[in-house]
């Protein structure tokens, strides 16, 4: 993997920014943007996202600065695709650097493109992590998108020690599971560490930034703390995602982490062959409730398919003025 000191990258984002790319923003530019709330059908809930159109003129450094200006968990930049079958190429940034894939920018970008075209559609989006086929339906300001993830869930490695996770998340000793649901590093496009705890502990978790640094997460994007959702909630899993080292102390909705959750559950002995259709709830403790749909197939003990979906609602629109 190439590296770039100015723009950190997490989990093998290959498109490093070289000096020639930094020269793109040599004149003043005005670009249109929209903001969307994703994994919700109502404004001021879910995960906010900035979608910047016509971003071919921007360098990676400019994209990172614009992302930090919005200061959302992520911003997504729409560029001309390189692949003939794709409608757009996406570059996704957190305030801490660039990601090869993320869930709510993929859903939000597809919704923004479909709304701009004024029709429900099926499209292919080009990301550093692959080509993502997306089905989009809706009208007005509310849309629903579901993408097929070409990166199937997989376990990468064991996770940090439970005691260190408890310290980093402000949990009492013994809260994090250590047997079948032991912490593991899993991913489906990008990696997270997964840790199970009782529902009350998940809800009470509080980030301890001093203890967080001792986790040594390397290029993993964060920790997903999970528990079975409460009966009657309409969800299967209640989760929270913490990633202060990528500029996201806590994320209201993390489709990419939900995408890797099946790998953790399979390794824990929870999954038999069959078709699964989960709802994952997140963001409740932040006052931004979100719901992520996770559909997947398991055959002969292997993942055969994975789709992530949810609603998105348009919130704001305007212009970004960029001066080199």
Q: pLDDT tens digits for 64-121?
A: 999 999 999 999 999 999 999 999 999 999 999 999 999 999 999 999 999 999 999 8
237 beta partners = 228, 280
Mean pLDDT of 266-272: 98
The whole-chain average pLDDT of the chain stands at: 93
CA dist 259 and 85 (Å) reads 24
In the predicted model, what is the mean pLDDT of residues 40-59? 97
pLDDT of amino acid 19:
42
What dihedral angle (degrees, nearest 10) is formed by the CA atoms of 30, 32, 36, 38? Answer: -90
What would the mean pLDDT of 240-250 be, rounded to a whole number? 97
pLDDT at 248 over 60: yes
Helix (H), strand (E) counts: the chain: 7, 17
Q: What is the pLDDT of residues 117-148, one digit of tens each?
A: 999 989 999 999 999 999 999 999 999 999 99
pLDDT surpassing 90 at residue 25: no
User: Do the beta carbons of residue 77 and residue 121 sit within 8 Å?
Assistant: no
Q: What letter does residue 9 receive in the DSSP assignment?
A: B
Q: Does residue 24 surpass a pLDDT of 70?
A: no
Which are the catalytic amino acids? 74
Q: What is the pLDDT of residue 38?
A: 99
Q: What is the pTM of this model?
A: 0.93
In order of their start, the domains of the chain are 19-150+312-322 (3.10.310.10), 154-303 (3.10.310.10)
Judged against a pLDDT cut of 80, whether residue 222 lies above it is answered with: yes
- Check if the beta carbon of residue 294 is closer than 8 Å to that of residue 275: no
DSSP letter for 229, please: P
Confidence of residue 11 (pLDDT cuts 50, 70, 90): low
- pLDDT score, position 218: 84
Q: What is the C-alpha separation between 249 and 82, in angstroms, rounded?
A: 34
């Amino acid at each position: 993997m190439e590296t770039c000191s100015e723009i950190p990258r997490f989990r093998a984002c290959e498109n490093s920014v070289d000096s020639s790319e930094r020269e793109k923003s040599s004149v003043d530019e005005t670009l249109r943007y929209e903001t969307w709330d994703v994994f919700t059908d109502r404004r001021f809930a879910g995960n906010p996202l900035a979608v910047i159109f016509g971003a071919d003129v921007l360098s990676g450094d400019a994209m990172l600065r614009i992302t930090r200006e919005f200061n959302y968990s992520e911003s997504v930049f729409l560029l001309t695709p390189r692949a003939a079958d794709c409608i757009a190429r996406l570059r996704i940034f957190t305030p801490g650097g660039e990601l090869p894939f993320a869930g709510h920018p993929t859903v939000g970008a597809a919704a923004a493109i479909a709304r701009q075209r004024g029709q429900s559609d099926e499209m292919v989006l080009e990301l550093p992590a692959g080509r993502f086929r997306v089905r989009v339906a809706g009208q007005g300001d509310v849309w629903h998108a579901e993408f097929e993830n070409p990166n199937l869930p997989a376990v990468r490695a064991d996770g940090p020690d439970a005691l260190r996770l408890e310290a980093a998340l402000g949990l009492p000793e013994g809260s994090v599971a250590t047997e079948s649901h032991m912490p593991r590093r899993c991913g489906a496009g990008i990696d997270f560490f997964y840790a199970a705890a009782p529902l009350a502990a998940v809800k009470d978790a509080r980030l301890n930034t001093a203890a967080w640094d001792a986790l040594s997460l390397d290029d993993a994007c964060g920790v997903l703390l999970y528990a079975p959702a409460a009966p009657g909630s309409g969800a299967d899993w209640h989760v929270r995602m913490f990633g202060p080292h990528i500029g996201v102390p806590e994320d209201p909705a993390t489709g990419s982490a939900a995408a890797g959750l099946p790998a953790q559950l399979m390794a824990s002995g929870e999954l038999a062959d069959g078709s699964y259709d989960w709802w994952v709830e997140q963001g409740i403790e932040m006052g931004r409730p979100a719901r992520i749909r996770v559909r997947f197939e398991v055959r002969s003990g292997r993942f055969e398919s994975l789709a992530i979906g949810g609603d998105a609602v348009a919130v704001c629109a305007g212009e970004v003025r960029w001066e080199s």
